[in-house]
Amino acid sequence: MTIEQMQDKCRGSLVGGAIGDALGYEVEFMSLDSIRKRFGEKGITRYVLHDGVAQFSDDTQMTLFTLEGLMNGVIDTQAGKIEDILPYIEKAYLNWYRTQTSNPATLSGSWMSNIRSLWAHRAPGMTCMSALENLSNGFGVDNDSKGCGGVMRVAPIAIFNAAHRHIYDYAATAHLAGWSAEITHKHIASTFASALLATTVMNCILDETVDQLHFSFIVVNGLIMMSEYFPEYDRELRAFDRLIRRALELGQSDVAEADAIRELGEGWVGDEAIAIAIFSVMRHTDNFEDCIVCAVNHSGDSDSTGAIAGNLIGSILGYSAIPSYYLKDLEIEPILVSAADDLCADVKKSEVTRRIGERYVDHLPAAVDKKYLI
């Protein structure tokens, strides 16, 4: 794979997630009947603009803070062990929490905090907020939540590790994504979903072409490895495995999309959210728009299922396959592209922190269009 192809897939995954998020955010709390009544039988297929842009939700906000924590950790630890990078991701989530609870200001160690859109309140998840409130006050997090707030934000880990697989392998990708979700969501199903998304995105980026059969193979292989990465959860893993395999089966069936998604759930919890996204990709592996439209038109957490499906289909088809009308009005789209390029900068392990550090500094707010800044 050429550097250009790698960059295209990395951009596709990050920007694709934001597109699915923005399209689904408009209908997040609507029933499918209400969506169809407003937008027609196909449901929502194009953005509804607010202040001239397609606004994304807290899903993309937290995804960008995951990216920032990961990058800071890689630079400071000189691409150290994933256990050493995890605290940087937690710190980044605490910075995101401050964007939701205080007035805009540049936060220490966070250039993302200079981006105005990331201070907007976009229906932040209650579990994320309560968990981060505890952490900000010096307390631990004690919940049994498997909400989708863990899985919808971990794609940058997969994108970075795909581009730097000589540093962080498949197992490291699964663990770091799963553990990052556990910062706020303690149910193992959230961990499973986050790990599976990350390993799937990673492999879809690394493989030049991914068709329906190949995608199914990637997902099933991820499921098989899950018991090795997160042992002692046999009962929970069996339930998760059944749901994901059913999503793959439905994706290859002639069951109507609405009926298939209704069977899989509503996406408010992590296992259902990734199941709906996987179904949507299986049903539309070769078409970005059809996949995203499928993923968001249901009676459930449409922005999160859209974001996860966007991460997946973008990693398969790449940025170049995304229709221009989805790129044109997307909130802070140039920053998303730039951030994806930061993740996939082509470097050797010996110079990873220097080169990535230089690349990252290039995108400090001084180099960003002032219209995006606080």
pTM to 2 decimal places: 0.97
Tokens of 57: 């939700």
Per residue of the chain (374 residues), what is the pLDDT tens digit?
898 999 999 999 999 999 999 999 999 999 999 999 999 999 999 999 999 999 999 999 999 999 999 999 999 999 999 999 999 999 999 999 999 999 999 998 899 999 999 999 999 999 999 999 999 999 999 999 999 999 999 999 999 999 999 899 999 999 999 999 999 999 999 999 999 999 999 999 999 999 999 999 999 999 999 999 999 999 999 999 999 999 999 999 999 999 999 999 999 999 999 999 999 999 999 999 999 999 999 999 999 999 999 999 999 999 999 999 999 999 999 999 999 999 988 655 666 777 777 777 776 767 788 899 99
Domains and CATH numbers, the chain: 3-133+145-372 (1.10.4080.10)
State residue 368's pLDDT score: 84
Distance CA 235, CA 332 (A): 42
Res 70: pLDDT: 96
d(CA 265, CA 254): 18
What b-and-e string marks burial along 329-352, b requiring 16 or more CB atoms within 10 Å of the CB? ebbbbebbbbbbbbbbbebeeeeb
Q: Which of 213, 210, 229 is nearest to 170 (CA)?
A: 229
What is the predicted pLDDT for the residue at 356? 73
> How many CB atoms are closer than 10 A to CB 324?
6
* Identity of residue 207: D
Q: Residue 184: its pLDDT value, please?
A: 98
The answer to whether the beta carbons of residues 112 and 62 sit under 8 Å apart is no
Tokens 């991460």 identify what position?
311
